[in-house]
């Protein structure tokens, strides 16, 4: 068995274990294979091992690669996980099923306009900077209810949930409070919106901290190195 196949088997086992530990069903967690910087051959191998969701973080790279990866009848789902500039919104809407990184109303408006021109309703997540790190993109948690409400009112954008990137730390336990904070924020926003909309998705957890994220309620984890590296 090749390295990627072995990595994926182990990853799925570990996700299932984290689900069991926290009383969740393993089908509640979608694994997005983050393929930035990987070759077409590597990505095709991952797809042949059952990967259904591919994530990229640069528009130019994704434009080149996704064309080569999408077979006519493939069910490949595409995710944008990087920082999106407003002037690239149109390209992103063209090629991605889910944009994880909406971090301003201005960006959401640009996505809405591009999606309207394509007759598409674009699924998005709102990126929240729960840790408050200066270097991170994302809206402030205290702005989330209002910003989400405004984004929600855009007709060609559909807000599915929230995304965050935990600060880098050697011990993955340090990420847990940030994951918990994102889940609580989602639940607060849902309570405030009083059933006019419900956010379900939580995109959180990467190669080093996906177990903690799953235990705290992640519905999408974004994994690169654990799939492609030994």
Ligand X SMILES: *Cc1c(COP(=O)(O)O)cnc(C)c1O
| Contacts with ligand X, residue ranges (CB under 6 A) | 34, 36, 57, 81-82, 165, 206-207, 222-226
Which one, 138 or 217, has the nearer CB to ligand X? 138
Largest CA distance in the chain: 50
Could you tell me the smallest distance in angstroms from the CB atom of residue 130 to ligand X? Answer: 14
- Crossing angle between the packed helical segments 3-21 and 40-48, to the nearest 10 degrees: 50
Instruction: Report the residue number, 154 or 223, with the smaller CB distance to ligand X.
Output: 223
β-strands 30-34, 53-56 pairing:
parallel
Q: How far is the CB of 109 from ligand X (least distance, A)?
A: 22
Cβ nearer to ligand X, comparing 3 with 71: 3
- Of the two residues 150 and 171, which places its CB atom closer to ligand X in the complex? 171
Residue of closest CB approach to ligand X: 224
Least distance to ligand X from the beta carbon of 55, Å? 7
C-beta of 66 vs 81, nearer to ligand X? 81
Phi, psi of 56 (to 5 degrees): -130, 160
- Least Å distance, CB 229 to ligand X, is 8
Q: How far is the CB of 127 from ligand X (least distance, A)?
A: 9
* In the complex, least distance from residue 26 CB atom to ligand X, rounded to whole angstroms: 19
3-state SS, residue 77 = strand
Instruction: Give the integer Cα–Cα distance in Å for 210 and 206.
Output: 5
Cα-Cα end-to-end distance for the chain: 13
Nearer to ligand X, 36 or 113 (CB): 36
**Do 181 and 219 contact (CB within 8 A), yes or no?**
no
Q: What is the sign, positive or negative, of the torsion defined by CA atoms of 166, 167, 171, 177?
A: negative
For 57-134, strand residue ranges (E) read: 77-80, 98-102, 122-127
What distance in Å separates the CA atoms of residue 40 and residue 46, rounded to the nearest whole number? 10
């Amino acid at each position: 068995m090749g390295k990627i196949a072995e990595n994926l088997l182990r990853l799925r086992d570990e996700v299932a274990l984290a689900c069991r530990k926290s009383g969740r069903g393993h089908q509640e967690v979608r694994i997005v294979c983050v393929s930035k910087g990987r070759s077409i051959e590597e990505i095709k191998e991952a797809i042949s091992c059952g990967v259904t969701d591919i994530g990229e973080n640069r528009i130019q790279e994704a434009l080149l690669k996704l064309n080569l990866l999408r077979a006519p009848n493939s069910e490949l789902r595409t995710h944008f996980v990087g920082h999106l500039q407003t002037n690239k919104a149109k390209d992103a809407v063209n090629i991605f099923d889910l944009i994880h990184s909406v971090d301003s109303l201005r960006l959401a408006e640009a996505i809405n306009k591009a999606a309207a021109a394509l007759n598409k309703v674009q699924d998005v997540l709102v990126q929240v900077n729960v840790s408050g790190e200066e270097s991170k993109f994302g809206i402030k948690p205290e702005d989330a209810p209002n910003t989400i409400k405004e984004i929600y009112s855009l007709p060609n954008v559909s807000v599915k949930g929230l995304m965050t990137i935990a600060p880098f730390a050697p011990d993955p336990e340090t990420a847990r409070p940030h994951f918990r904070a994102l889940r609580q924020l989602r639940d607060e926003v849902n309570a405030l919106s009083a059933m006019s909309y419900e956010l379900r998705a939580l995109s959180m957890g990467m190669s080093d901290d996906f177990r903690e994220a799953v235990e705290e309620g992640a519905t999408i984890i974004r994994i690169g190195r654990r799939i492609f590296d030994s």
